[in-house]
């Protein structure tokens, strides 16, 4: 465990009182749902194939047999209906956790999220709320082609009223999913599916590694939560700040190791509201900044981060901010590794900001 | 060169501006003819009711047939009062909008029975998910008229803090859900809410309203799938008032024989009823509510009615339909029909009706004076400017706190 962050405080306590287990991200998310469904009868889970079968990625496995059909059930293939149903349930006081099978499929439900879920509190002046959690596996690197690889997080960061979260490891995934379920606001919870079964450093041909050997694969079996809106410095450095979230957090760390560059890597974890304090502290220290996202470049969340960093830290900056992103193309199938922002693209960006 | 014959089928109303209004193509079965099945009937057994037309009040304004809810005259008078109030309120608000007192208004003229009788046949603890033309529900549930007006003129007492267009009411205390303005989104929400009622086991149900045009939206079909699959205790009201702004109902209906019949595809109990007949709306809603509460699932009710006035204050129907259609609508006017029914029963008369209209008109005028004393959209006072940053989240995050500072409030 890193030992300078909020997570560390939690982990010390955990070591003392809680049973730790090795979990991959799927197991950690399942454990979060299990804990919450056990504690709170208002928590229910549903989605396409998410009931009896436990989800195509198995995140909701065994919840139906443990908690019953009415708490973990299969939904018809209609994302708008799934979102609308969740809003209605939340308005009655339930805590629905709705799975969108792939984040690429979230768009039929977009109207319900953008026009309804996000604004219900506002437009009713607090008389009704819709604290739904929308779980959506995202990102590429799994040979998913253009319909199973998207990172659509930026769309949701344009929507006042929702929080947007994307963890990068099992420990954070569980703590943040529990926080999302406990949040009074709707949360769009993106799960980088390339990280479901193991950490990924961006080398397409490399052997699969396991979360079992990674410190963040040590996950308490019991309930805990991590604060939404808090980033974490996962690699300390003084030469350049890399701001990333999801899969690219691990890729950025690996790239810094490979290049031997003293880069500081921030795992953003929450996109809305993002942790400007941690970002500004780091960039003011390093004077150089790279922002990263797997999504296409134009109007991505990295653009927002770059704009905010130059507003906050302009006089500390010694080089133009660089972006490491996907291309402005759909996610290709055969050439997915030419699309994926791997370690070499990070190294090029680091060299560019360090040379500037 | 323009083609005189379209190359593919585009439905069109058979009369347009300048033509003589004509509804002779609409088949109106006799009142009292429709059978009233047990409330636990299998959905598919309601096929004849989905294709027919449940009517209780006949052309002599007498209640006939199995669907007659046999209401106490006091209940009928209460319904009449709510309908007259709805109409008086709408007329007054239209005048005020024309005087520039509010940005926008939508009347429900001709459709008062749909909302008022529907609300009266449910329990006040049942949640309603209306569209924007069911203000009659608010009167039936006893909402304060000054509060309604304060919302419409977005003043300092607007319970929505000036965030919504006029008539997009919310009233949690009266179990009246937040009206969206985006069409059909309330349908799957109502089903989810109804499922949560079942989950809680509190005996409550939900009802929702949608226009004929909006049934083309995916949310309508998604909601019916959900309602059928999970056998949700929900009433899905399709208000077929013949017009979606300027678009006649045939554009949404396609070749479907009725809107109620669409419910058949999902195996749902489906009724097509005379929406201008207070007793038919009351009876059908009561039937559907009983069915839902007993665990037999959802009902689709098509209220066959006519939008007697413009879509909104931004609309001019003379551009797309003949003048005078509302006067020859074969199912008449809902207020007049209930009034005549009560008179026929010896429970009402013209003098009492005139006195009721006068009383309600004076009350509405007085209410507006009071509402205006809390401010108007043009002259204020409005809700405090800083309130635009409230209720986005449970607590404003740093972005909203900063932006509020940027605005200097």
Position B107 pLDDT exceeds 80: yes
Give the chain A residue nearest B401 (alpha carbons): A273
* Average pLDDT estimate for B195-218: 98
Distance CA A49, CA B327 (A): 53
> Residue B241: how many CA atoms within 13 Å on its side-chain side?
31
In this complex, which of A88, A124, A161 lies closest to B193 when CB atoms are compared? A88
Specify the CATH number for B43-312+322-378; select among 3.40.50.1860, 3.40.50.970, 3.30.70.20, 3.40.50.300. 3.40.50.970
Contact (CB<8Å) A124/B393: no
Average confidence (pLDDT) over B11-26: 95
* R_g (Cα) of chain A, nearest Å: 19
Which of B393, B399, B400, B403 to probe the A interface (max A CBs under 10 A)?
A: B393
Give the Cα-Cα-Cα angle A58, A99, B229 (nearest 5 degrees): 105
The dihedral formed by the CA atoms of B266, B269, B274 and B278, expressed in degrees to the nearest 10: -130
State which residue of chain A sits closest to B163, comparing Cα positions.
A123
- Contact status of A249 with chain B (Cβ, < 8 Å): no
Which chain B residue is nearest to residue A110, measuring alpha carbons?
B185
Residue B1 pLDDT exceeds 70: no
| B308-326 tens-digit pLDDT | 999 999 999 999 999 999 9
Quote the pLDDT of residue A203: 84
Residue whose entry in the numeric block shows the structure tokens 């909302």:
B115
Pairing of strands B234-240, B299-304: parallel
Buried-exposed string B331-358: b where 16+ CB fall within 10 A, e elsewhere: bbbbbebbbbbbeeeeebeeeebeebee
* B170/A229 touch (CB, cutoff 8 Å), yes or no: no
Q: Whose CA is closest to B317, among B246, B259, B260, B217?
A: B246
A108/B193 CB distance under 8 A: no
Mutate to test the interface with A, among B174, B224, B391 (most CBs of A within 10 A): B391
Question: What does the pLDDT profile of chain A (356 residues) look like in tens digits?
Answer: 333 333 444 444 445 567 899 999 999 999 999 999 999 999 999 999 999 999 999 999 999 999 999 999 999 999 999 999 999 999 999 999 999 999 999 999 999 999 999 999 999 999 999 999 999 999 999 999 999 999 999 999 999 999 999 999 999 999 999 999 999 999 999 999 999 999 999 987 766 789 999 999 999 999 999 999 999 999 999 999 999 999 999 999 999 999 999 999 999 999 999 999 999 999 999 999 999 999 999 999 999 999 999 999 999 999 999 999 999 999 999 999 999 999 999 999 999 999 98
Query: Is there a contact between A339 and A307 (Cβ–Cβ < 8 Å)?
Result: no
Residues B116-126 have pLDDT tens digits of 999 999 999 99
Bridge-based pairing of strands B247-248 and B243-244 is antiparallel
User: DSSP characters for B385-409?
Assistant: GGGGGTTSSSS--HHHHHHHHHHT-
- Computed on alpha carbons and rounded to an integer, the radius of gyration of chain B in Å comes to 22
Catalytic residues of A: 148
CA dist B377 to A212, B83, B154, B169, B369, Å?
A: 62, 28, 5, 16, 14
Q: CB of B158 within 8 A of CB of B107?
A: no
Give φ, ψ of A216 to 5 degrees.
Answer: -85, 5
> What are chain A's domains?
6-220 (3.40.50.970), 232-355 (3.40.50.920)
Q: What pLDDT was estimated at residue A168?
A: 98
Q: What distance in Å separates the CA atoms of residue B74 and residue B311, rounded to the nearest whole number?
A: 33
Query: Residue-wise over B188-225: b if at least 16 C-beta within 10 A, else e?
Result: bbbbbbbbbbbbeeeebbbbbbbbbbbbbbbbbbbbbb
The minimum CA-CA distance between B163 and chain A, rounded to whole Å, is: 6
- pLDDT of B348 strictly over 80: yes
Q: Name the one residue in this structure whose structure tokens are 């739904």.
A: A132
State both tokens at B211: 């226009």
| pTM given for the model | 0.96
The pLDDT score that the predictor gives to residue A206 is: 64
Mean of the per-residue pLDDT values of chain B? 97
Report the alpha-carbon distance of residue A346 to residue A237 in Å, rounded.
15
The residue among A20, A11, A87 whose CA lies nearest residue A222 is: A20
**What is the per-residue DSSP string for A57-122?**
TSTTTTHHHHH-TTTEEE--S-HHHHHHHHHHHHHTT-EEEEEPSSGGG-GGGHHIIIIIITTHHH
Looking up tokens 């406990």 gives A182
Query: Which residues of chain A have a CB within 8 Å of the CB of B205?
Result: none
Distance CA B343, CA B358 (A): 18
Q: What is the DSSP letter of A201?
A: -
Greatest alpha-carbon span in chain A? 60
Which residues of chain B are in CATH 3.40.50.970 domains? 43-312+322-378
The C-alpha angle with vertex B106 and arms to B100 and B109, in degrees rounded to 5, equals 120
Inspect the interface and report whether the beta carbons of A185 and B226 lie closer than 8 Å: no
What does the pLDDT average to over B177-195? 97
Of residues B187, B193, B393, nearest to A161 (C-beta): B393
């Amino acid at each position: 465990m890193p030992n300078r962050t909020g997570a560390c405080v939690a982990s010390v306590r955990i070591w003392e009182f809680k049973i730790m287990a090795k979990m991959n991200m799927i197991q950690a998310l399942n454990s979060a749902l299990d804990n919450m469904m056990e504690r709170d009868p208002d928590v229910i889970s549903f989605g396409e194939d998410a009931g009896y079968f436990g989800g195509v990625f198995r995140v909701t496995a065994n919840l139906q047999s443990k908690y019953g059909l009415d708490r973990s059930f299969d939904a018809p293939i209609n994302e708008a209906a799934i979102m609308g149903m969740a809003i209605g349930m939340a308005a009655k006081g339930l805590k629905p956790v709705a799975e969108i099978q792939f984040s690429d499929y979230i768009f039929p439900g977009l109207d319900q999220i953008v026009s309804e879920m996000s604004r219900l509190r506002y437009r009713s002046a607090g008389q009704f709320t819709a604290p739904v959690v929308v779980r959506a596996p995202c990102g590429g690197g799994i040979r998913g082609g253009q319909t199973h690889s998207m990172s659509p997080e930026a769309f949701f960061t344009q929507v006042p009223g929702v929080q947007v979260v994307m963890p990068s490891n099992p420990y954070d995934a569980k703590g943040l999913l529990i926080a999302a379920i406990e949040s009074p606001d709707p949360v769009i919870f993106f799960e980088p599916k390339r990280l479901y079964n193991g950490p990924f450093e961006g080398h397409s041909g490399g052997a699969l590694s396991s979360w079992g050997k990674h410190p963040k694969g040590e996950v308490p079996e019991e309930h805990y939560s991590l604060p939404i809106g808090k980033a974490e410095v996962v690699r300390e450095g003084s030469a350049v700040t890399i701001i990333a979230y999801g899969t690219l957090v691990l890729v950025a760390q690996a790239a810094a190791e490979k290049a031997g560059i003293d880069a500081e890597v921030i795992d953003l974890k929450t996109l809305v509201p993002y942790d400007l304090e941690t970002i500004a502290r780091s960039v003011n220290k390093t004077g150089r900044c790279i922002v990263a996202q797997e999504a296409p470049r134009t109007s991505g969340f990295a653009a927002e981060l770059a704009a905010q960093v130059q507003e906050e830290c302009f006089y500390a900056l010694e080089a133009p901010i660089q972006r490491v992103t996907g291309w402005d193309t759909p996610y290709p199938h055969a050439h997915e590794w030419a699309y994926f922002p791997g370690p070499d693209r990070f190294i090029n960006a680091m060299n560019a900001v360090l040379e500037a | 060169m323009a083609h005189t014959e379209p190359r593919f089928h585009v439905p069109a109303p058979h009369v347009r501006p300048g033509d003589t209004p004509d509804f002779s193509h609409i088949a109106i079965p006799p009142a009292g003819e429709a059978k009233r099945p047990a409330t636990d009937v299998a959905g598919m057994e309601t096929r004849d009711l989905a294709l027919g037309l449940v009517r209780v009040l006949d052309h002599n304004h007498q209640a006939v047939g199995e669907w007659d809810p046999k209401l106490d005259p006091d209940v009928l008078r209460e319904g009449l009062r709510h309908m007259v109030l709805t109409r008086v309120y709408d007329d007054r608000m239209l005048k005020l909008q024309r005087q520039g007192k509010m940005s926008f208004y939508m009347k429900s003229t001709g459709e008062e029975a749909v909302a008022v009788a529907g609300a009266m046949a449910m329990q006040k603890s049942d949640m309603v998910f209306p569209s924007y033309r069911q203000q009659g529900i608010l009167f039936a549930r006893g909402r304060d008229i000054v509060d309604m007006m304060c919302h419409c003129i977005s003043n300092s007492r607007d319970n929505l803090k000036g965030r919504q267009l006029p008539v997009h009411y919310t009233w949690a205390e009266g179990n009246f859900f937040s009206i969206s303005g985006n069409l059909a989104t309330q349908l799957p929400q109502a089903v989810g809410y109804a499922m949560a009622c079942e989950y809680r086991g509190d005996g409550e149900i939900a009802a929702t309203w949608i226009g004929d045009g909006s049934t083309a939206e995916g949310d309508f079909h998604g909601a019916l799938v959900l309602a059928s699959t999970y056998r949700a205790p929900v009433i899905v009201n399709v208000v077929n008032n013949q017009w979606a702004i300027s678009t006649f109902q045939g554009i949404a209906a396609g070749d479907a024989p009725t809107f109620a019949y669409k419910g058949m595809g999902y195996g749902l109990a489906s009724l097509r009823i005379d929406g201008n007949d207070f007793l038919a709306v009351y009876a059908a809603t009561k039937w559907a509510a009983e069915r839902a509460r007993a665990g037999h699932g959802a009902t689709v009710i098509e209220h066959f009615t006519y939008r007697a006035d413009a879509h909104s204050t931004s609309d001019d129907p003379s551009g797309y339909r003949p003048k005078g259609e509302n006067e020859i609508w074969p199912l008449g006017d809902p207020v007049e029909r209930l009034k005549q029914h009560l008179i026929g029963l010896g429970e009402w008369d013209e003098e009492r009706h005139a006195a009721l209209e006068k009383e309600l008109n004076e009350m509405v005028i007085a209410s507006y004076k009071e509402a205006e004393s809390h401010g108007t959209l043009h002259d204020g006072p409005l809700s405090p400017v800083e309130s635009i940053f409230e209720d986005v989240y449970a607590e404003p995050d740093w972005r909203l706190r900063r932006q509020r500072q940027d605005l200097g409030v």
